[in-house]
Chain A
């Protein structure tokens, strides 16, 4: 079991999740955040923090988002860690509205 960031994070990257991560398992690129499954302790603290519901427990992933397990596992270790919240990406609020949140 792990916890997975999915496509709703793209172009948003609000990082509210990062503030409550007890183990600093988030990483980031110019597009979104990723969780390192080898560091995450499955506490799920981040899930309710996401304003666009991008984060899922692995078991709860919809079928069409399951490929994000692999993407998080591959990408996270290659990228810089994100241990403190950052400014959301430009246009994040518009993207959030477009996603219906």
Chain B
């Protein structure tokens, strides 16, 4: 039998997830020179994954990546099947029969836990919840954040921790002209937060921020970034790390911390972001809700670039009313697909999904659900290209002949299953409505944040 990819027998691929990885995989398939048909599945009724609901509202330029995805979506061989949950509205097994190949690009949707007592207390949140809430993600629309206490604590020193801290640090005037969700802006307007602690378990030479994100803390209207100078002392291995010529990023970050350490203490009405290092949370304490964060002082052990934080036994307590954890992300399992619980990814070899050591034919993975939550938007382009290259190499394999229902249209199956599929034209209507809604209040868009509301608009 001929391998799929010809005009008579196009290669039919299902992509599960409509974020950057899904669109870059689609792009790579369309660039392959083969005849390809792509159906992209998305569980929300709106596309673009974390570019829509992760990238911070005050970073509008990064969201321009969406224009690239919209162009890819205009290819006549592309269909968006949004508002469809794979594993619920349609089984993976069913997809396996309808398509030659499936690529899972469904990201890392849940947070790693601190694993400490008190983590479940009211006032203890995941960064994902907060980010989803201020970005109008329907799953987090009704989360409640109590910003009435003067101190907030964020655990983690990556870019998500930076986003959460910066949104808490900014004034409403700084956020008003962004596409931040209206419900979030209303709550942030009442915030009484004055001190924001951003705490890392390792040192100032190991923080994971990009220098660009960190630099923004030096440019806020009503907030001063501070670092206690004594926290900038480095052990010999960290000095070696910063002296390494290729380690440009951490060197720049350390210079920014040094600059922040010389900032004068601000007047009382200003907010303060405190970057603090070498501390791990050991407990969250409080009667009805979080009142105190208990931390253990750490020290670094190990060779340069391989240092880990070890507790010293020295305990510090900090009064705080709200806590966010941003210490890593993991994927959620998809029914019918192997899953590595420990790493929170779909196990794979170069993008080919494996079960133990056995490859699962015609199933692939790309993006954060493949390699874990590292890198930024563009990192996923290279990653998706690599996965698609593996898929194209495999086409010679006879397993691609095993697609029993490949002549059946998946859309018919979904309609029979009673699913209201939101296609790309539907999305374009929602997109226009959101932009028009934003115009009224001087925002680039005002998102619709409830699934039912979006579906009603399309009736």
Contacts and interface: CB of A to CB of B under 8 A. Distances in A.
Interface of A: 19-24, 41-48, 53, 57, 59-60, 84, 100-101
Nearest to B61: A41
A59 B210 CA distance: 14
Contact of B381 (A22, A53, A57): A22
Majority secondary structure of chain A interface residues (helix, strand, loop or mixed):
loop
B266 to A, nearest CB: 24
B385 A19 contact: yes
Nearest to B382: A19
B376 interface: yes
Interface residues of B, number: 25
Interface stretch (B62-70, B132-140, B225-233, B331-339): B62-70
Contacts of A53: 248
Contacts of A57: 212
A53 B379 CA distance: 18
Most chain-B Cβ atoms within 10 A of its Cβ — which of A45, A46, A101?
A45
Given A41-B65, A57-B212, A19 B381 contact: yes
A23 B379 contact: no
Majority secondary structure of chain B interface residues (helix, strand, loop or mixed):
helix
Contacts of B245: 100-101
Contact of A22 (B20, B31, B210, B212): B20
Contacts of B359: none
Contacts of B62: 41-43
Contacts of A44: 210, 212, 376
A31 B31 CA distance: 26
Interface string B377-392: 1110110010000000
27 contacts: A19-B382, A20-B381, A20-B382, A21-B378, A22-B20, A22-B24, A22-B65, A22-B377, A22-B378, A22-B381, A23-B67, A41-B62, A41-B65, A42-B61, A42-B62, A42-B212, A43-B65, A43-B377, A44-B376, A45-B377, A46-B378, A59-B215, A84-B31, A84-B385, A100-B245, A101-B245, A101-B246
Contact of A21 (B210, B215, B381): B381
B423 interface: no
